[in-house]
Amino acid sequence: MNGNHYNLNLKDILKKVFFVDLIQGLFITFNYTFSKTITLRYPDEEKWIPYRRFRGLHTLNRNKEGKELCVGCELCQKSCPTQCITVVPMQDKTGKGIADRIAYRWEINLLRCMFCGLCEDACPTEALKLGREYELANTSMQRSLWTKEELLAAQEIPVEFDGGVIVRARLERDDKGLKVIPDMSVQKRWW
Amino acid sequence: MATVKINGKEITVEDGTLILEAAKGAGFDIPTMCYHARLSKLASCRVCLVEIVGQKKLQPSCVTPVMHGMEVLTESPVVKSARSSMIELLLANHPLDCPVCDKGGECELQDVTFKFGPRNSPFGERKRRFHEEDYILSPVIIQNINRCIQCKRCVRICDEVVGASVLGSIERGAKTGETSFVKEYLDCDHCGNCIEVCPVGSLMSRPYRYQSRPWDLKGVDTVCTYCGTGCQLTVQARNGEILRVISKPDKGINNETLCARGRFGYSFINSHERFVTPMIRKGGTLEPVPWNEALKAIKDGLTEAMKDGRKTGGIASGRLSNEELYLFQKLMRGVFKTNNIDSGSRWNTGAVKSFANVMELNKGGISVYDALNADTLFIIGSSISDENPITDYLIRRLSRNKKMNIIIASPRGLKLDSSATLSLRHRPAAEGDILGGIAKVIYDKNMDKLKDLTGKEHLKNISRENIPDLTWTDWSSIESVSGFMLSANSITIAVGNDVLRGPSRIESMHILAEALRLLGKDVKLFPVFDRANQRGAWEMGVHPDILPGYSFRDGDGLGSEGIIDAASRGEVGALYVVGEDIVSDFPDGGFVREALRQVKFLIVQDIFLTETAKMAHVVLPGASFVEKDGTFTNQEGRVQRLRKFIEPQGDAKADWEIIASIGEAVEPSFHYGSVSDIFKEIKGAVPMYRGIDFEGLDGNGAIVKGSGIGGQGAGVVAGFSLRPKSEVRSQEQETPDPEYPFILITGNHLYHSGRLSLKADTLRDILPEAVVEMNEEDAKAMGVSKGDKVKVKGDRYEATLTAHINKRSVRGVVFIPENFTDVPVNMFFTKGKGFPRVKVLPLSSLSPQGRGPG
Ligand code: SF4
Ligand code: SF4
Ligand code: SF4
Ligand code: SF4
Ligand code: SF4
Ligand code: FES
């Protein structure tokens, strides 16, 4: 065994006596205290808007004429590994959808969803997309059940919006829970 | 036998086997599109091409038979690429709108493409489009012609099996061929068989439109309870809601076919009109009560009503299961100590007994396929095309490719006439004389051989001279029927339940069958019933003179008519009616109503508040056919399983449970826990059922075996006497009355069966209101055309109906279906007087604009 291992040289002893490491560390801390903040002030003031490729809450979409793209083909339901989607089709001749077949019910139970996106891949009409809504925590199981009407509603983060930025936001509380409302006009890059 | 090598595997098959079938047998999968096992061969799609070693051209395996020593390749590179291009051609003009297509998930084109097809296509041209929107062909069919691949399966089934021939190709040629209705939809049977065989989503079911995907559906294979044919069908539901009924090619005698009633007559199950709690009459109205209260009321009511030696009676429907019918007769006989039981109320009780005897029902069943394996088929006593559509389809299909003379005797023109060698149109109720006439000709020609013919003395009443009067048929037709029978080696006589309306017809049938047998012919008697479990009802002993297993007895028991008679005299204390609407069925609607009013305590068990139920003191909610287990015995004697699929609605209960709990309320030892327990007991009581394994009954059911007395033809059971003819004749013969020139007959309509089917909305859409069918010339003479409103007037009832024309019906007869609540056709009848006479008054003369669109 090499006894040198236990021998301290003078330089080390001095370093210890004068707390050099500690002071160096504190100096870094001290420096950051006065440098520009890079922490995301989420949820109170800021919110991260993910890229388009993000897989958040499902959205049902319309075409340019405003017709529902979903034709109730049930392929998303079939492809879902966790079986959390229920689609019931119906006939509709009023021109609501792109075909005379639309979804009568389109429901998802997010408690089971693992956001794999297979349903989106299966959708033949690009009606179904996983969106950028990720604040899905809630206090009631019932709130995890999302229906066609809710998923068809205008999205907070428009599809055209590229994402990958931080925007200003404000936290709101109501009886349904917490909500962080983004303000797309004030953006910044996080790096 | 031919030995062939398929992909190197050697197999031996029957001569003439198609390569396709041989390869399937050897375990090789060859795709097909236009091929259908039970239809004529078309060989147009060419996706089934195979290579025969030594032949340059690929051959379609669906029409090429094997030859001894042949070597076939189904997976060679040439085959694979040819096959793939054939599929590509099919797809070239196919819209590929699978996401909106109802066939998606069970589409043969999808499956074939995924398995054998190309993965991409060089075709870039615009696809052919005939229509932008799917269009409605009929109340049950919706079509998307763009998806049609021209396989013509629909055309072939409609023509070769259904016999309606309403589908065809408009404009021929590769680009313009369009397969659709070529006739009016009124000629359509609404059977939906074209939908069933369409391999793609071109012909689709309207009631099922955009309801679900096949993978969401859960189903159960069960038996149709509408008619005696006993088709197998599969009821499918999503989350407990029944969405459709389909047929399966490998199940049942019906294979892929069903009739309109079987395929579309299910929605009564979820009808809001069903009553789903027991009800007791309290101060004039029926009020819901819990089960225990209803049972207590029954117990008390029965005791009270049966005081002073009043009679008890029970009438059960031939649409209940064997287990229910068995329990019912056991309850009546064992607990209520009465033989006053019957099934149905339209027939003569004595006739039923003779019928069971002459038809030798106790000798076991006979498969319809065996019955149709005959040189001559004679059909009498049934509007078979309307009453038993699938029996009609089977006859048409099986007779297409073989020499079989079909002879039909009926007052109404039938669709099957087009397949018949000879059709006799006769006067209603003349079946006995027709049969007797035929027997007479046969007897006269073979007197030496028929010296010992039993009952030959009855033939004396029939002669060349009186036949036209008795039957409205000429002697020469009777002679030609006899000729066909004499020249045949095997003869099947299919006898419908119209002969049960009076007893005289059955003895003639017996004499005819005996005569033919004495002449050495193979004679099969095949019963044709309109009620799904009529045969089962008799086999279980629901008849005053038939104990379970056809032990015939002569007793004091009353049949339906006797019970109703006794009731009219105030002698009936308690009457228990299960599943039967006697007020609507008994041939004298006014009389039966009056009679039931005299019944002290009337219990009615049904699923709808029928006319009979409305008169009851206690009504009990029974279960529909998907809500209970059991077995049904069809007209062939085939026992098939009824399978429970959903729970009965509300407080409703399976009918056997109700019967058992009534029994238990009166007699605590009358306890049954399950249907299979009851079936076990049936096996003990009915020897014919001994060999049947309840749990093991599959899609083909099991045919009951004779009780050891011998096969068909062993003669009538000892001690059974044919009724003297004279007594009967006087009852049945009506005197012509110039004021009422028409004879009114009734029966089921093709789209309806009993009163139940009227509650199924799809069937109601097809035929929403009662019609009167009459001969074309009769109509012309009165200036009536199809769709006109006419008034039909008898001496005690009249009704306004829409006229239908039947070109082939006999003159002087009108037919009104018995299925419509608003036209209770039995109101025209007078008890004991046979078919009523009516007159027809056109209404169009009163209101010229009242002419329907036709
Ligand atoms: S993301 Fe995955 S788990 Fe969630 S609904 Fe879609 S397929 Fe199902
Ligand atoms: S979202 Fe897409 S995959 Fe799902 S039912 Fe609608 S069209 Fe079909
Ligand atoms: S429903 Fe039946 S009768 Fe009508 S077109 Fe189809 S197969 Fe022919
Ligand atoms: S409609 Fe269907 S069954 Fe008829 S020809 Fe076209 S694809 Fe074949
Ligand atoms: S033929 Fe009779 S048993 Fe067959 S589906 Fe029609 S009603 Fe049902
Ligand atoms: S299946 Fe053989 S040619 Fe169509």
Domains and CATH numbers, chain A: 2-33 (no CATH), 59-130+138-153 (3.30.70.3270)
Which CATH architecture does the domain made up of B126-270 adopt? 2-Layer Sandwich (3.30)
- pLDDT digit string (tens) for A106-150? 999 999 999 999 999 999 999 999 999 998 888 788 888 999 999
> Candidates 2.60.120.10, 3.40.50.2000, 3.40.50.700, 3.10.20.740; correct CATH number of B2-92?
3.10.20.740
- Among the listed ranges A29-38, A61-70, B125-134, B749-758, which one has the minimum average pLDDT value? B125-134
Single-letter code of the amino acid located at B503:
P
Confidence of residue B172 (pLDDT cuts 50, 70, 90): low
Indicate the range of B123-127, B332-336, B397-401, B812-816 predicted with least confidence.
B123-127
Q: Do B391 and B362 form a contact (C-beta atoms < 8 A)?
A: no
pLDDT the model gives residue B170: 63
Orientation of helix B291-305 relative to helix B655-666, angle to 10°: 60
Question: With contacts defined as CB-CB under 8 Å, which chain A residues touch B100?
Answer: 71, 73, 99-101
Helices (H), ranges, B287-361: 291-305, 322-330, 349-358
B118-132, B242-256, B828-842: which has the minimum mean pLDDT? B118-132
User: Shortest CA distance to B358 belongs to which of B489, B488, B540, B499?
Assistant: B499
pLDDT digits (tens, 9 = 90+) for B389-408: 999 999 999 999 888 999 99
- Helix, strand or coil, per DSSP, at residue A145: strand
Predicted pLDDT at A186:
81
Going by pLDDT thresholds of 50, 70 and 90, the confidence category of residue A4 is low
Specify the pLDDT at position B705.
86
Q: Is B49 helix (H, G, I), strand (E, B) or coil?
A: strand
CB-based contact A72 B211, cutoff 8 Å: no
Task: With a cut of 60, say whether residue A82 has pLDDT above it.
Answer: yes
Q: What pLDDT is stored for residue B713 in this prediction?
A: 38
Residue of B98, B100, B215 with shortest CB distance to A78: B215
pLDDT digits (tens, 9 = 90+) for B415-433: 999 999 999 999 998 999 9
Using the mean position of ligand 2's atoms as its centre, give its distance from the Cα of residue A153 in Å. Answer: 16
Average pLDDT (B435-456) is 93
pLDDT on residue B245: 97
What mean pLDDT do residues B130-152 have?
Answer: 90
Helix axes B475-487, B431-445, angle to 10 degrees: 60
Question: What does the H/E/C string look like for A150-182?
Answer: HHHCCCCCCCCCCCCEEEEEEEEEECCEEEEEE
Measured by CA distance, the residue closest to atom 3 of ligand 4 is B198
| CATH architecture under which domain B279-344+533-697 falls | 3-Layer(aba) Sandwich (3.40)
Specify the pLDDT at position B187.
Answer: 83
Alpha-carbon span B644 to B667, nearest angstrom: 28
**CB within 8 Å of chain A, chain B residues 171-230:** 209-213, 215-216
Q: Residue A179's pLDDT is what?
A: 83
B271 touches chain A (CB under 8 A): no
Nearest Cα neighbor of B689 from B372, B325, B350 is: B325
Kindly state the DSSP code that residue B736 receives in the 8-state scheme.
P
Contact assignment for B100 to A101 by CB distance below 8 Å = yes
B145: distance to nearest CA of chain A, Å?
16
For chain B, the average pLDDT equals 90
Residue A91 and residue B98: Cβ atoms within 8 Å?
Answer: no
User: What pLDDT does A190 receive?
Assistant: 62
CB contact under 8 Å between A71 and B134, yes or no, is: no
- Distances in Å between the Cα of B108 and the Cα atoms of B42, B104, B201 are 17, 9, 9
Confidence at residue B848, expressed as pLDDT on a 0 to 100 scale: 44
Residue B718 has a pLDDT of 37
Give the pLDDT confidence score for residue B135 in this predicted structure. 87
The two domains B126-270 and B279-344+533-697 share their CATH topology (first three levels equal) = no
Q: Whose CA is nearest to atom 2 of ligand 5?
A: B227
Instruction: Give the span between the Cα atoms of B320 and B245, in whole angstroms.
Output: 20
For position B275, what pLDDT does the model report? 94
Q: What is the pLDDT of residue A8?
A: 72
What does the pLDDT read at residue B844?
Answer: 61
Say whether pLDDT at A58 is over 60. yes
CA of B153 to the centre of ligand 3 (A): 11
Confidence tier at B851 by pLDDT (50, 70, 90): very low
- Show Cβ contacts of residue A77 under 8 Å, excluding neighbours closer than 6 positions: A83, A85, A86, A87, A119
Instruction: Write down the pLDDT at residue B728.
Output: 39
Averaged pLDDT for residues B470-489: 95
Q: Which CATH number fits domain B733-846: 2.130.10.10, 2.40.40.20, 2.60.40.1180, 1.10.10.10?
A: 2.40.40.20
Q: What does chain B come to in residues?
A: 854
pLDDT digits (tens, 9 = 90+) for B662-720: 999 999 999 999 999 999 999 999 999 999 999 999 888 999 987 544 334 334 443 34
Out of A73, A99, A100, the one facing B104 most closely (by C-beta) is A73
ipTM greater than 0.90? no
Inter-chain contact B210–A89, Cβ cutoff 8 Å? yes
B391 lines ligand 3 (CB under 6 A): no
For residue B765, give both structure tokens.
Answer: 């859409």
Q: Is the CB of B179 under 6 A from ligand 4?
A: yes
What integer pLDDT is reported at residue B556 of this predicted model?
Answer: 86
Residues having CB within 6 Å of any atom of ligand 5: B 224, 226-227, 229-231, 254, 258-259, 261-262, 388-390, 753
pLDDT at A156: 85
At residue B733, the pLDDT reads: 52
* Residue B190 near ligand 3, beta carbon < 6 Å: yes
Q: What is the pLDDT of residues B38-65, one digit of tens each?
A: 999 999 999 999 999 999 999 999 999 9
CB contact, 8 Å: B324 with chain A?
no
Q: What is the pLDDT of residue A38?
A: 75
Third-level CATH fold of B371-526: Dimethylsulfoxide Reductase; domain 2 (3.40.228)
State whether residue A23 sits within 8 Å of chain B by CB.
no
From chain A, pick out residues whose CB is under 8 angstroms from the CB of B98.
73, 124
Phi, psi for B162 (deg, rounded to 5): -75, -35
What CA–CA distances, in Å, run from B304 to B30, B431, B658?
72, 45, 21
Q: Domain extents for chain B?
A: 2-92, 126-270, 279-344+533-697, 371-526, 733-846
Distance in Å, alpha carbon of B209 to nearest chain A alpha carbon: 7
Which residues from B are below 8 Å from A89, CB to CB? 210-212
**So what's the pLDDT on residue B850?**
39
pLDDT, average across residues A66-83: 97
Q: Which residues in B lie closer than 8 A to residue A100 (C-beta atoms)?
A: 100, 133-134
CB–CB contact B211 A89 (8 Å): yes
pLDDT at B707: 59
Band the pLDDT of A33: cuts 50, 70, 90: confident
pLDDT digits (tens, 9 = 90+) for B313-329: 999 999 999 999 999 99
